[in-house]
Amino acid sequence: MDGNPKVAAVVGRGRSAFGGLAPWLFLAPYFFIFLAFFLLPALWSAVVSLTDWKIVGVPRFVGLRNYARLFSDPLFYTALKNTVVYTAIIVPLMALVGLALAILLNQPLRGRVVTRTAVFASYVVMVSVVGIIWRWVLEPTGAGIVNYYLGKLGVAPLPWLAAPETAMLSIIIATMWWTAGYNMVMYLAGLQDIPESLREAVRIDGASAWQEFRHLTLPMLKPVTFFVVVMSVAKSFQVFGQVYVMTQGGPSNSTLTIVNYLYVVGFTWFEMGYAAAIAYALFALLFVVTVIQFRLVSREAGGAAGLIQAQLLVRLGLYALMALVLVAWVGPLLWLLSTSLKPEGQILSLVPRWIPQTFTLENYRDVLEKYQLVRWGVNSLVVAAGATILGLVLSVPAAYAFARMRFRGQQWLFLLILSTILVPVHITIVPLFIGLAKLKLTDTYLSLIMPTVANGFGVFLLRQFFQNIPQELEEAAIIDGASRLGILLRVVLPLSRPALTAVAIFLFILSWNDFMWPLIVTNTDATRTLPVGLAASLGGTVGGQGIAYYGMSMAGAVLATLPALLIFILLQRYFVQGIALTGLKG
């Protein structure tokens, strides 16, 4: 490279101490959104946490009184305990289940592609649908299919969501079904990236299947495991949607989490200062846990030593296990579809029937006539598509600047962007809502789209991919007279289609499934999104909050699930490939 003066000059300018204007021009569009919808609201939230503010009137400065209140608030202690218990159970469980599923579905088995698709398909289901499905599946009467089959095994019916002893377990089961596919895809990408030559080398050395797994596979998967655990911890501490839809924090506050309590304090009691203090307490807790994880990752750890030894199972056993996985993930969706096609009189039968005795479309007709389902669906598609397109447009140049250019403060700025992934977004909710309300921008598409665009996950994934593109291709383009923008558009982007598709799917799902922010910022059907509309109108028809029109609820859930499911099925072949190429691998 240095032998060509033209290449050396252009590349040298891009890598100088200051990097010229080019990096800042590439970063400017993303950072404008980042500042407006994340950093400044987060800083403002810190100020609000020092006030007594009931959203109306003038804030009254109270210093650290809101933080002192946390230590004497029994509800906060209950929410903290529930959140920690939930996180301590779900994080290792999800890592183990994700790895076990990846190992199983990486075997050369017929039907593995269908099973992979089924497992990950649950991840694109919106949270309100997940809540509706599992409230029905876990129905404590004999009409619930779980209790029905437990009865067949001689186990007495469990109260599930109706009792404090089993309510949190119900949330964990629903969450595992909903999100295990995400971790599975990450581990699949890592497994498929382990060179076959290394496997052959350890086999030649006489390693058994278990030794190969323990001494080769697990160490190669450490980066993936670290990513999965860190992301799972961040998500678990911020759990909200499934709790809101399934239990509202009950019974007897047994499922009340920190974010659910924050929502009640801020948007039911309108104590904005105390809500901001709760958000920062959550941030402090998550920060400490994340620092501990980063410190531990440098140490040698045995990790998942008790996993399924898939290599030792006979082929028939592998197929049986894969069949069980398929049933466990497809079963709730089929039960959802079956219920939606039954008349109300058949739904509450004490002997559940997978195939309706009488098929009917009345539930679909009723839900479309009584609720603004189409309007909500259009709103969700507009918001998700807008967030995806705008997110890609802003993330691509920013990611390229971080991957290929050198400029002052580069590492600190990148860490700042990564904070949008690990820092609870809830520290921005109170000031964002107040600011948008004062500007009369609540209940608009703008208020729904822009906060999602500020998320740094797209920048992170694309930077990982761009760094793996051979530098020689860019040098050849420079020789041909291409500018930095020309290189990005004509060289980098055509090579990045798998990664762009994977990021687009992530951004779409993130916005499509978003629940808490639309719940806060929308007030009318004009902009209400599908998850919020379903939870507000149909969520109450299951589980005792209203008249139990199960068929109509299930029909609405089916219609809400179809768009994202179809998009995923059409694009899923790019997904694992895109993740594997972004650097989230072994």
Residue span(s) of the chain under CATH 1.10.3720.10 come to 1-36+367-586, 61-342
Alpha-carbon distance of 414 to 159, in angstroms, equals 48
Instruction: Tell me the C-alpha distance between 330 and 114, whole Å.
Output: 11
Give the architecture (CATH level 2) of 1-36+367-586: Orthogonal Bundle (1.10)
Task: Tell me the pLDDT tens digit for each residue of 245-291.
Answer: 999 998 999 999 999 999 999 999 999 999 999 999 999 998 888 77
| pLDDT over 60 at 4, yes or no | no
CATH class assigned to 61-342: mainly alpha
Q: Kindly give, in sequence order, each residue whose CB lies less than 8 Å from that of residue 110, ignoring residues fewer than 6 positions away.
A: none
The tens digit of pLDDT for each residue in 10-60 reads 454 444 434 578 899 999 999 999 999 999 999 999 999 999 988 777 889
- DSSP H stretches of helix in 305-441: 315-340, 344-347, 362-370, 373-404, 410-422, 429-438
CB atoms within 10 A of CB 319: 16
Distance CA(252)–CA(249), nearest Å, equals: 8
Residue 396 per-residue DSSP state: H
How is residue 267 annotated by DSSP?
H
As given in the structure block, the two tokens for residue 319 are: 């197929």
Tell me how far CA of residue 430 lies from CA of 266, 531, 541, in angstroms. Answer: 7, 21, 30
Helix (H, G, I), strand (E, B) or coil at 209: helix
Greatest mean pLDDT among 138-142, 162-166, 349-353 lies in 162-166
Both tokens of 2, joined, read: 């240095």
Are residues 551 and 477 in contact, defined by beta-carbon separation less than 8 angstroms?
Answer: no
Residue range 144-155, pLDDT digits in tens: 889 888 888 888
- DSSP, collapsed to helix, strand or coil, labels residue 199 as helix
**Model pLDDT for residues 211-237, shown as the tens digit of each residue:** 888 888 888 888 888 888 888 998 999
Tokens of 504: 């687009």
